Amino acid sequence: MDNEKLEIEKKVNEGINLFENDKYEESIKIFEKLKENSKTSIIGIFFLGIIEIKRKNLKAAKKFFFDFLKINKNHEDANLNLGLVYLEEKEFEESLIYFKKVLTINKKNLNALYHSGLTYFYLRKLEDSIKYLNLSTEINKNFVPSYVTLGHIYLRLKEFNKALENYKKVLELDPKRIRTKFNISWCYFALSNLELAFENYEFRKEKIIPEGRYKEVLNKFKSTEWNGHDLNNKKILIICEQGYGDNINFFRYLFWLHEKFNVKIIFYAHKKLAHLFHNTPFQIISDLNDVNHIDYHQHLLSLPRICYKESKKFEKNINYININQIKDSYWKKKLSSFKKPVIAINWQGDHRYTYDDMRSIPLSYFNDTLNNENFEFISLQKNFGSEQIKKNNFENLLIDFSKEIDSGENAFEDTISILKNVECVITSDTAIAHLAGTLNVKTFLLLAFNPEWRWYIELNHKCFYPNMNIIQQSKFNDWKGVFHELNKRLEKKDF
């Protein structure tokens, strides 16, 4: 009997080793064979479910775990894995059923406690999330994921000191988790501790292996990172980074360098954005082959830190954007045919972004706004998000230009001309906000309760866009209040 147990254990370990090394087919053969044996069937079923989770075949994984629970309904790990599958499928209520089942079997199951907290976080039931995450840290005081999620919760609730406490605990336990410094900087921007905010925002350069454009620059040039050196009669390369909105906003700092020094400034830009900057006194490139030598380099979003350290101020808006005159004439004519003043709206940013839930707004909230008969409404939404027009039956209230605009190689070429020829813009926190702001177009920016770090600079220092009206949630997840205020402003035509 002992020999039989040893042989089974050997087979199980062999199968585990195979799927951990991504040799799924070979592993499946071993566990299928164990499944066929009445004595080892339950082992085979369990590990076949695990393999399908690893292969992202969630439907098959669920079937194996359902079969397993028919044999042993109180198995801790089978219930846990079924909960994890439902969590992966974003079936949050279903996942909680199985996590709670695990906790009735073992109230100290760390994974069930943590994933219950995580699930409640996704459901925006933050008090419940905090409860389970705190329970998980009582089981394991060094469990980093719980502190990360607690930090995210307190960040959303604008309890910045509590968020900092948890994020600092993360770095204490795992110093390599440098992206946590982004969240720390966000907290410090909100608290107006700009020195620590800028210091932590430099996390972007702490990656062990430089990536992307930065890596290309380091590989090609023997240049020095600029941190305030005298640039007179020198050549500096500024590297674009982050999203389109940040590049549009913080490009203004190149003008600061230009005024301060007699320096050749080269901007290494996103290819699709390069056309925006052509009417400026800088060399705009999207390929390093266009440059043979530089003395210094710096990331675009490090310039505000260096400027603020020296002058204790932020640079004001500069409308530098290059206009395509043919596009401008076309949209001016098209929009002038409308009988009412035209308002352009945009509601959805990149849905893949970690904090998209704190930026984008479901289009359904615009219902009362779109029914305002004093205006015509047009959509600036492209790609993901535009499907919400049909979903909400807004086809007769909101004109969808998504198939007509910005289909060429240059980003925003049509959008720029539309913005110049509308009454005002209503937008969530997307690049459109920065584009409209830079163009000095009248803009309503709708912000979440705790907006991203950059908007704390604007809220506290009023330095970004003079023609921008910010309407911000007064409590977590309260878009209704934001639209109540917006609609009042529109009725009064208070732009």
- Looking at residue 224, its pLDDT comes to 96
pLDDT given at position 210: 66
Tokens of 246: 């940040």
Taking each helix axis as running N to C, give the angle between helix 303-311 and helix 252-260, from 0 to 180 degrees, rounded to the nearest 10.
50
pLDDT at 1 over 60: no
Alpha carbon of 39 to those of 35, 36, 44, 45, 311: distances in Å? Answer: 9, 9, 10, 12, 76
pLDDT on residue 335: 94
pLDDT, residue 208, reads: 55
Percent of the chain residues topping a pLDDT of 70: 99
Q: What percent of the chain lies above the pLDDT cut of 90?
A: 80
Q: How far apart are CA 422 and CA 420, in angstroms?
A: 6
Q: Model confidence over 197-218: pLDDT tens digits?
A: 999 999 887 665 667 899 999 9
pLDDT category, 73, cuts 50, 70, 90? very high
Q: DSSP class of residue 357?
A: G
Q: Which residues contact 480 (CB under 8 A, 6 or more apart)?
A: 365
Q: How far apart are CA 203 and CA 15, in angstroms?
A: 41
Q: Are 349 and 432 in contact (CB under 8 A)?
A: no
**pLDDT at residue 220 tops 70:** yes
Beta carbons of 95 and 83 less than 8 angstroms apart: yes
Give the pLDDT of residue 24.
86
Average pLDDT over residues 168-185: 95
First to last CA, the chain: 83
Q: Which of 276, 189, 240 is nearest to 459 (CA)?
A: 189
Q: What is the mean pLDDT of residues 347-361?
A: 84
pLDDT above 70 (res 461): yes
Structure tokens at 405: 């605009």
Please check the confidence at residue 324 and state whether its pLDDT lies above 70.
yes
Question: pLDDT tens across 97-150, in order?
Answer: 999 999 999 999 999 999 999 999 999 999 999 999 999 999 999 999 999 999
* Cα(439)–Cα(3) distance, integer angstroms: 79
Best CA proximity match to 69, nearest among 60, 57, 82, 58 = 82
pTM, to two decimals: 0.89
Give the pLDDT of residue 438. Answer: 97
Adjacency order of strands within the sheet including 264-268 = 224-225, 296-299, 235-239, 264-268, 283-285
pLDDT, tens only, 17-63: 888 888 889 889 888 888 888 888 888 899 899 999 999 999 999 99
> Which of helix, strand or coil describes residue 245?
helix
Look at residue 39 in the predicted model and tell me its pLDDT. 82
pLDDT band for 351, please (50, 70, 90 cuts). Answer: confident
CA gap 455, 437 in Å, rounded: 13
Give the separation between CA 116 and CA 146, rounded to whole angstroms. Answer: 11
Q: Residue type at 486?
A: L
Residue 242 pLDDT exceeds 90: no
Indicate the pairing of strand 443-447 with strand 468-472.
parallel
| Cβ-contact 233, 262 below 8 angstroms | yes
Tokens in use for 272? 């699709």
Please name the amino acid found at residue 361: I
Long-range contacts of 158-167 (CB under 8 A, 24+ apart): 158/190, 158/449, 158/450, 160/187, 160/190, 160/191, 161/187, 161/191, 163/187, 164/188
Identify the H or E element spanning 163.
helix 160-173
Q: State how far the Cα of 137 lies from the Cα of 114, in Å rounded to an integer.
A: 9
The amino acid sitting at 337 is S
- Is the confidence at residue 8, as pLDDT, over 90? no
The number of helices, as runs of H, and strands, as runs of E, in the chain is 23, 11
How is residue 459 written in tokens?
Answer: 């809220």
What's the rounded Cα separation, in Å, for the pair 229 and 341?
A: 50
Residue environment code for 131-165, b if the CB has 16+ CB neighbours within 10 A, otherwise e: ebbebbbeeeeebbbbbbbbbbbbbbbeebebbbe
